[in-house]
Amino acid sequence: MFTHKVDKIPSGCAIAGIIDRRGEKIEGQTIVNAISAMEERSTNLGAGFAGYGIYPDCADLTAFHVMFEFRRALEETRDFLKQRFFVQLEEAIPTTKVKFITNPPMLRRFFARPRADVMLDEAIATEEEFVRQAVISINEKIDGAFVFSSGKNLGVFKGVGFPCDIAEFYRLAQYKAHLWIAHGRFPTNTPGWWGGAHPFNMLNWSIVHNGEVSSYGINKRYLESFGYKCTLRTDTEVLAYLLDLLIRVHGLPTDVATMAMAAPFWKDIDRMEPERRELVKAARMIYGGALVNGPFSIIVGYDRGMFGLNDRIKLRPMVAAVKGPFTYIASEECAIREVCPDPERVWSPRGGEPVIAELESTVAETKG
């Protein structure tokens, strides 16, 4: 049982991620223990978790997690989804009353498959794009409704509270996943509210973030030119959408996408080997609107694995470790050692250098 501490670190949030690269399941309590070891980096204004592989019985369906401020928003969202999807299951997200969690919104999940006739009528070629447009429409047009998770065989659980309280509220110990990411928030320039807690998700991309995105305005306008809408009143939202755009839509490899988001300085590019230099120059010029400025460290979950990334001058902490098939990433080493006391290797990645941990190839092919 964790107790809330008094001392705080106002310059940082807490982030943590764990993956078993074999695809074997990890108890939800494991990630709770890791993030709770850094509670001094959090406040009670926001925390959350994302788990991959938690819905094996509905793995081929999109799992929409939606929060509602009032019942009319629930009814409008239900009607919207039924017009565009075959909704095979709708239910309340299981929760438990927790002393420090007050006034939560209504929380429901919908497991659904797109209607092929609607996709054909609207000339939308892929299921992913159809789901993306549905998420944007709900968040933008239905007052009081916020989709906070929209991937397959994954779920985001977040809200206003300390990480251990949010975990208890959502009964996280009852879930098992091959990949977990987590966040404890210390809000700076954006409000602490249920929809603004981390992780942020779009399709199979989920992200937790420590720091600030000072390029938010540029990134937001860049995304809007491709049909994205930023409606959740926080800078981190752009990061999830940038990943979806660069990797899913534009088909960039993960390492090239991270290079575009945390591109090296021109003076460093000039010193690279010719072949590498031309690739990095092209990424900087073509994807200038995707360059993320400001102090940040992020952990990203996706269907094939996870990666961690610092800003290019490493203004926020990030530590990585490995032991056997497990890879760990966190703001502080203590979080890793809380759940893995004797890692084989521990290191602090350099600024702009991603730590990429993907599922073993046979596992990824099965899950893909």
User: Which residue has 């609107």 as its token pair?
Assistant: 289
Q: Using CA atoms, how far apart are residues 118 and 344, in angstroms rounded to an integer?
A: 51
The percent of residues above 70 in pLDDT, for the chain, comes to 93
Q: Is residue 262 part of a domain?
A: no
When pLDDT is averaged across residues 267-288 and rounded to a whole number, the result is 89
pLDDT in tens, 278-288: 988 888 899 99
Helix 127-141 to helix 71-84 angle (10° resolution) is: 160
Residue 326: phi and psi, rounded to 5, are: -100, 140
The CATH number given to whatever domain includes residue 48 is 3.60.20.10
Label residue 6 by pLDDT band (50, 70, 90): very low
**What's the pLDDT tens digit per position in 32-73?**
999 999 988 888 888 999 999 999 999 999 999 999 999 999
- How far apart, in whole angstroms, are the C-alpha atoms of residue 145 and residue 188? 24
What is the number of domains present in the chain?
Answer: 1
Whether residue 166 is contained in a domain is answered as yes
Q: Taking 70 as the threshold, does the pLDDT of residue 191 lie above it?
A: no
Residue 332 lies in a domain: yes
Domain-located, residue 269: no
pLDDT in tens, 113-171: 999 999 999 999 999 999 999 999 999 999 999 999 999 999 999 999 999 999 999 99
Cα separation, 293 vs 311, whole angstroms: 7
Strand order in the sheet with 47-52: 154-159, 47-52, 179-184, 14-20, 326-330, 319-323, 345-347
Indicate which residues carry an active-site annotation.
Answer: 13
Q: Is the pLDDT of residue 368 over 60?
A: no
Tell me the one-letter amino acid at 336.
I
**Residue 288 within any structural domain of the chain:** no
Structural domain contains residue 276? no
The answer to whether residue 283 is domain-embedded is no
Residue 264 confidence (pLDDT): 84
Dump pLDDT digits (tens) for 210-258: 988 889 999 999 999 999 988 877 788 899 999 999 999 999 998 889 8
Residue 90 inside a domain? The answer is yes
Res 37: pLDDT: 93
Expressed as residue numbers, the domain containing 153 is: 14-252+295-367
Q: What is the pLDDT, as a whole number, of residue 365?
A: 46
pTM of the shown model: 0.91
